[in-house]
Amino acid sequence: MVWCSPSADGVSVVEVKTLDASAGYQPYESTRAFWERRGFVYVDTIDSLPGWDPGNPAAIYVAALRPTTYAGWSMADPA
């Protein structure tokens, strides 16, 4: 799926999953670097992720596309 402007569609946060570094599979180093260069932040590793084979830990990355709010609290104004 490719979005030209996900934030214009009301999307605030994007999550991606890729093979975690702990799997020791070198070809995915460039995949993780790709997401990190685009501002995605590693938040967790899940092993085993439902739908993924055991022994293939998933690295979870997220990126905020715009300031977000939750119950009156805003990341844009954390005070």
pLDDT for position 66: 81
**Distance between CA atoms of residues 39 and 59, nearest Å:** 15
pLDDT for position 7: 57
Q: Which residues of the chain have pLDDT under 70?
A: 1-9, 69-79
pLDDT for position 29: 96
**Distance between CA atoms of residues 29 and 6, nearest Å:** 26
- Please give the model's pTM, rounded to 2 decimal places: 0.75
Domain residues of the chain, as ranges? 11-66
Coil, strand or helix at 51 = coil
**Half-sphere exposure at residue 55, Cβ-oriented, CA atoms within 13 angstroms:** 1
pLDDT for position 13: 87
Identify the bridge partners of residue 46 per DSSP, sorted by sequence position: 58
Long-range contacts of 50-54 (CB under 8 A, 24+ apart): none
